[in-house]
Amino acid sequence: MPSTDLDWWRDAVFYQVYIRSFADGNGDGVGDLAGIRARLPHLIDLGVDALWITPFYPSPMADHGYDVADPRDVEPTFGDLAAFDALLADAHAAGLRVTVDLVPNHTSHAHEWFEAALAAAPGSPERARYLFRDGRGSDGAEPPNNWPSVFGGPAWTRVPDGQWYLHLFAPEQPDLDFTHPEVLADLEETMRFWLDRGVDGFRIDVAHGMAKPSGLPDMLPMEDTGLLADHGPGDHRFDDDGVHEVHRRIRRVLDEYPGRMAVGEVWVSDDDRLAQYLRPDELQLAFNFKLLTAEWDAEDLRTAIEHSLATVEGTPAPACWVLSNHDRPRHVTRYGDGIVGTRRARAAALLQLALPGVAYVYNGDELGLPDVDLPDEALQDPIWERSGRTERGRDACRIPVPWSGDEPSYGFSSRRDTWLPMPEGWDRLTVAAQADDDASMLSLYRRALELRRTSSALRGDGLEWLPAPAGCLAFRRSGGLVCLVNLSADDVPLPEGELLLASTDVSDGVLPVDAAVWLRA
Ligand code: GLC
């Protein structure tokens, strides 16, 4: 078992396993639990502390598992409960914690509750667990309000008897009504089910959703109402004050299990509103997405860091840094792709991992994977169809991980065809190709994570900005680490101090453009 330190998560490095794309154990071209178990040695060598595994519950896969038909079982594509237990046991034996996704805001349309709701009449108790409403206009032919789905189109779908139901995401993901006592009771049962099996915590999906304002009033019309952005107080779909009562209930269950934690996916950018989710009786952690949405620009990144630190100041929570995930373009691509994007991604890794608090690494970050442009016919994300084929969606950042070999599927699966096709030319990005190359992204991550574990320079919550050349960022951690990132157009001199790690060669005493360095002051 991992060490018994109850606050283990406060400075942990979590590794996000997007289960469909990490490793395929049964040769069907889709990742699974057996695949993760077989690849644990990679995660141990990498040096992460914990896993977050994306949903592996029974699901029709309208949103690739975020449409959950039964939150207390395993989708056969991914394995079974015995496979989960075996993975958990092996991970714990190796000192790795395991956290799983909790998807409270909605179920799948194939959930037994929703099937019962469709079979029942308007006004029935079966419908009361979801948000069924009569429409507006003559014959109720207009949706009950003006809310759009974040995947495109209206957030309402009409059923044959004329009522409408709410789905902030796809029509196959009906929103639950959190004022219904059974809804929260069932969520608590799901939490206990996984906690009793031994999981170390949860990542809570759409943790700013769940509660809806009573009367479901129209929202402020907005240009971009798309996926996972925060549109502020006029957007009544998210961040309703009632959500905090849900978080208090979640926390009460967690507190029965010492040492377990929850991190929320909270797309709320106002520092004070985000901080409310981190009150002592709510979430232990909330993703801060400001690094993920910042440009490769010194001002922008500094602002992102300052706001993230300001958010947690005055809460019990540490900051929680994310560079990439399964919903956004990968940072190699955001920063310009190719050689430039990769250089910047190396520097960004040292920036992220130098900051005080928690870091989330998305599978493939450690290999420097870029996004992949897929042909129309390969696209799977519901956003593609729902947007009338105007938004390509998130498949580009979800390509399976390359492990070894010269051609697709690079050791990911025993078959060549994978659920999303893998590109030619990824042979130099595989784990095997990078493992023994000191100059690789993988070696940089391993070294950085080893220093995080072993060097006292990377301890302490305090961060102090240091004077830096124009276009550069420099700060000191209270443990003594100095991190300098060069986002300017010229080389800059290396500061004084013992060199711990650099994203590029700094032997001539200068830090090149788009590079970062760790020193001990
Ligand atoms: C979260 C997930 C995303 C999913 C959505 C709906 O934002 O990260 O992948 O589509 O919730 O569950």
pLDDT > 70? residue 2: no
Q: Give me ligand 1 centre to Cα 298, in Å.
A: 30
Task: State the pLDDT at residue 231.
Answer: 76
Q: Any alpha helices (H) in 198-313, and if so which ranges?
A: 243-255, 271-276, 290-293, 298-312
CATH of span 8-106+181-447: 3.20.20.80
Do residues 517 and 494 make contact, with C-beta atoms less than 8 angstroms apart?
A: yes
Q: Which ligand 1 atom is nearest residue 169's CA?
A: 6
Task: State the pLDDT at residue 233.
Answer: 80
pLDDT > 70? residue 416: yes
pLDDT > 50? residue 470: yes
Indicate the pTM of the whole model.
Answer: 0.97
CA 89 vs. chain centroid, Å, equals 24
351 Cβ neighbours under 8 A, 6+ residues apart: 301, 473, 483, 485, 516
Task: State the pLDDT at residue 152.
Answer: 87
Task: State the pLDDT at residue 303.
Answer: 97
Q: List pocket residues of ligand 1, CB cut-off 6 Å.
A: 63, 66, 103, 169, 205-206, 228, 265, 326-327
Q: Determine which one of 45, 218, 256, 313 is catalytic.
A: 256
Of all residues in the chain, the percent with pLDDT exceeding 70 is 99
pLDDT > 90? residue 225: no
Sign, CA torsion 179/181/182/188: positive
pLDDT > 50? residue 459: yes
Task: State the pLDDT at residue 1.
Answer: 42
* Residue boundaries of the structural domains of the chain: 8-106+181-447, 462-520
Q: Give me ligand 1 centre to Cα 278, in Å.
A: 21
Q: Determine which one of 101, 186, 205, 365 is catalytic.
A: 205
Q: Give me ligand 1 centre to Cα 232, in Å.
A: 19
Per the annotation, the verdict on 256 as an active-site residue is: yes
Per the annotation, the verdict on 75 as an active-site residue is: no
Q: Report strand pairing: 201-204 vs 261-264.
A: parallel
172-182, pLDDT tens digit by residue? 999 999 999 99
Task: State the pLDDT at residue 316.
Answer: 97
Q: Which of 225, 317, 243, 239 is closest to 273 using CA atoms?
A: 239
244-267, pLDDT tens digit by residue? 999 999 999 999 999 999 999 999
Assess whether the region 8-106+181-447 and the region 462-520 belong to the same CATH fold. Answer: no
Rounded CA separation 319/322 (Å): 10
Mean pLDDT in residue range 103-120: 98
Q: Which CATH architecture has domain 462-520?
A: Sandwich (2.60)
pLDDT > 50? residue 299: yes
pLDDT range class, residue 201, cuts 50, 70, 90: very high
Task: State the pLDDT at residue 229.
Answer: 66
Q: Give me ligand 1 centre to Cα 206, in Å.
A: 7
Of all residues in the chain, the percent with pLDDT exceeding 90 is 95
Q: Which ligand 1 atom is nearest residue 326's CA?
A: 9
Task: State the pLDDT at residue 521.
Answer: 86
375-406, pLDDT tens digit by residue? 999 999 999 998 899 999 999 999 999 999 99
Do residues 358 and 14 make contact, with C-beta atoms less than 8 angstroms apart?
A: yes
Q: Which residue's CA is the closest to the ligand 1 atom numbered 3?
A: 327
